[in-house]
């Protein structure tokens, strides 16, 4: 009978004792070695079944077998961007039999040791770093590593797959300008992606001869910061007719502020979000949003990681994985930028003529 949750977890020694064989022979069975007789193999497998023994992935890796495990570190489970990213990764990784283990850096911030150390101890074959995870060593890791999403520091030798955040920021401004808006504000937060979107917004406004109206940048890119920053925006520039939010979650905060102020969307103020998450498509929100194609980022990141694991990329400059805007980064890895698109919904409209 398999062990109950309260019982001691069976070990390889327990299996060996039950089957009447040595520990090394059990290891050979776990490795599917041809050096084991059918009789001994059957005895070991029967013991494994009776005891409910589960070999650790780390031990399996040390024995020479592959774990087919991928560790993914993200910075906030609440951000819907990661849902599409992980779905894209799974589409690629499920076929060859890889499984994904995810850890949230924020939830584990109280630990002295990074969850990445746990991934490596478990014998993962590759790592994906998503978002602005803190405390990622610049010297890199002993397994293939891909950074998904723009971040300030990319580990040595790691590949980067990200949305072209600067192109996305320009898309948002161009859309609002095409609707006749000139008093366009921007609410933003911290992090490399937000920084790139902010700089693109500012450049597009200056090039058009318009005054940038930027609030935020020090807080996280969440709903509370979106609400706080948009309040400040209207205190400083009450005549604002359109807002570009750094992401869809911040846009929710902006909507809350507009509701408090009695302003209608899009009749009084147009809003553009970023990420084109499931939130944006909800009927009651109908948020115009820049689609950063996070599922494609996940797919390309997984393809690139598999290519590294299977050693199909002998050097950083010889990438064969399908991607966009490929380049070699400063620290040796491949850099791929996925071009964004704009999904227009009901939160944007032509500016009032009096604006």
Strands 327-328 and 334-338: antiparallel
Neighbours of 309 (CB within 10 A): 18
Q: How many CA within 13 A on the CB side of residue 216?
A: 35
Helices (H) and strands (E) in the chain, counts: 11, 13
The residue among 5, 335, 340 whose CA lies nearest residue 174 is 340
Instruction: Specify which residues 72 forms β-bridges with.
Output: 102, 128
- Please give the structure tokens belonging to residue 205: 């406004």
DSSP letter at 279 equals T
Supply the pLDDT for residue 151.
Answer: 76
User: Is residue 324 included in any domain, yes or no?
Assistant: no
In a domain, 346, yes or no: no
Tell whether 348 is covered by a domain: no
Residue 328's contacts (CB-CB under 8 Å, 6 or more residues apart) are 316, 317, 334, 335
Predicted confidence pLDDT, tens digits, the chain (355 residues)? 445 444 577 888 899 999 999 988 887 777 666 778 989 989 998 998 888 776 665 555 555 567 889 999 988 788 888 999 999 999 999 988 899 999 887 776 666 667 787 888 788 999 999 877 665 666 678 889 999 998 767 888 899 999 999 999 999 999 999 999 999 999 999 888 999 999 999 999 999 999 999 999 787 889 999 999 999 999 999 999 999 999 999 999 999 999 999 999 999 999 999 999 999 999 999 999 999 999 999 999 999 999 999 887 644 443 334 445 444 444 468 899 999 999 999 999 999 875 4
325, 331 Cβ separation under 8 angstroms:
no
191 shares a domain with 115 = no
Same domain, 169 and 258: yes
Nearest one of 86, 70, 88 to 299, comparing CA atoms: 88
Same domain, residue pair 287 and 303: no
Residue 107, domain extent: 69-163+295-311+330-338
**What's the CATH code of the domain at 234?**
3.40.50.2300
Count: domains in the chain: 3
pLDDT of residue 326: 47
């Amino acid at each position: 009978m398999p062990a109950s949750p309260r019982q001691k977890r069976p070990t390889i020694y327990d299996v060996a004792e039950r089957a009447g064989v040595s520990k090394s022979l059990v290891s050979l069975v776990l490795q599917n070695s041809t050096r084991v007789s059918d009789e001994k193999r059957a005895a070991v497998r029967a013991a494994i079944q009776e005891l409910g023994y589960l070999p650790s992935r780390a031990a399996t890796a040390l024995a020479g077998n592959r774990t087919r495990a991928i560790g993914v570190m993200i910075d906030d489970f609440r951000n819907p961007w990661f849902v599409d990213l992980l779905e894209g990764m799974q589409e690629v990784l499920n076929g060859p039999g890889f499984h994904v283990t995810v850890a949230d850096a924020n939830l584990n911030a109280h630990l002295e040791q990074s969850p990445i150390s746990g991934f490596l101890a478990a014998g993962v074959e590759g790592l994906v770093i998503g978002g602005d995870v803190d405390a990622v060593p610049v010297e890199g890791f002993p397994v293939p590593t891909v950074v998904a999403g723009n971040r300030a520091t990319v580990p040595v030798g790691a590949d980067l797959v990200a949305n072209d955040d600067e192109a996305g920021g320009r898309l948002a401004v161009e859309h609002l300008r095409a609707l006749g808006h000139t008093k366009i504000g921007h609410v933003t937060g911290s992090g490399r992606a937000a920084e790139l979107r902010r700089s693109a917004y500012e450049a597009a406004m200056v090039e058009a001869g318009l005054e940038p109206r930027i609030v935020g940048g020090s807080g996280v890119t969440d709903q509370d910061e979106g609400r706080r920053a948009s309040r400040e925006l209207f205190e400083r520039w009450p005549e604002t007719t359109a807002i570009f939010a750094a992401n869809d979650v911040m846009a929710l905060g902006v909507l809350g502020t507009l509701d408090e102020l009695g302003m209608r969307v899009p009749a009084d103020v147009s809003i553009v979000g970023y990420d084109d998450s499931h939130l944006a498509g909800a009927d009651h929100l109908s948020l115009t949003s820049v689609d950063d194609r996070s599922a494609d980022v996940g797919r390309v990141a997984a393809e690139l990681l598999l290519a590294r694991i299977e050693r199909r990329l002998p050097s950083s400059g010889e990438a064969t994985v399908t991607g966009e805007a490929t380049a070699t980064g400063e620290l040796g890895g491949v850099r791929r930028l996925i071009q964004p698109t704009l999904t227009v919904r009901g939160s944007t409209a032509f500016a009032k003529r009096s604006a």
